[in-house]
Amino acid sequence: MQDDQKKKLKLKVSAIKEGTVIDHIPAKNLFKVISILGLDSIENQITFGTNLESHKLGAKAIIKVTDKFFEDDEINKIALIAPHAKLNIIRDYEVVEKKVVEIPDTISGIVKCFNPKCITNNEQITTRFKVVAKDLISLKCKYCEKITNSNQIRMC
């Protein structure tokens, strides 16, 4: 059964020769991940699958980007919305490296401050947060100094 499923998954999204496969993205956040990584504005070949079965996530999504290798800083930006994402680095159809995402110590942009009276919600300003807790994410706004908790997180 499991082998069957694996086979099906492989069939659903075709293999790539060189590039990066981002797996275990929560299905509902796929398009946010695409947008945060700027995949909607690059020329590379990209295939993705979504609403795939996953024991861990219920419904997961997967993205395969040809000829693209992400810097850690770049990829860690998705940690807030895809904390269990795994990266497979592909060279000549083989997985040569596996990476997990890590929540960075500071976050610029991406997330809105939950405080409606914060200056960042009233003027064009890039939000900046210090990550004060990583397990249950909590972010301290550099400007209004209020804490945005994981259940209050909204994307910019």
User: Is 151 a residue that touches other proteins (CB under 8 A)?
Assistant: no
Instruction: Report how far residue 83's alpha carbon sits from residue 53's, in angstroms, rounded to the nearest whole number.
Output: 18
- Closest separation in Å from C-beta 104 to other proteins: 20
The residue within the footprint of other proteins, chosen from 55, 56, 117, 154 (CB under 8 A), is 117
Number of neighbours of residue 86 by Cβ within 10 angstroms:
15
User: Is 145 a residue that touches other proteins (CB under 8 A)?
Assistant: yes
Contacts of 82 (CB under 8 A, 6+ apart): 22, 24, 25, 26, 29, 33, 101
The residue within the footprint of other proteins, chosen from 123, 135, 136, 154 (CB under 8 A), is 123
- Closest separation in Å from C-beta 122 to other proteins: 6
State both tokens at 18.
Answer: 């060189």
State both tokens at 141.
Answer: 């706004």
State both tokens at 77.
Answer: 């930006």
The residue within the footprint of other proteins, chosen from 76, 115, 130, 131 (CB under 8 A), is 115
The smaller minimum CB distance to other proteins, of residues 119 and 155, is found at 119
Binding site for other proteins (CB under 8 A): 113, 115, 117-120, 122-125, 141-147
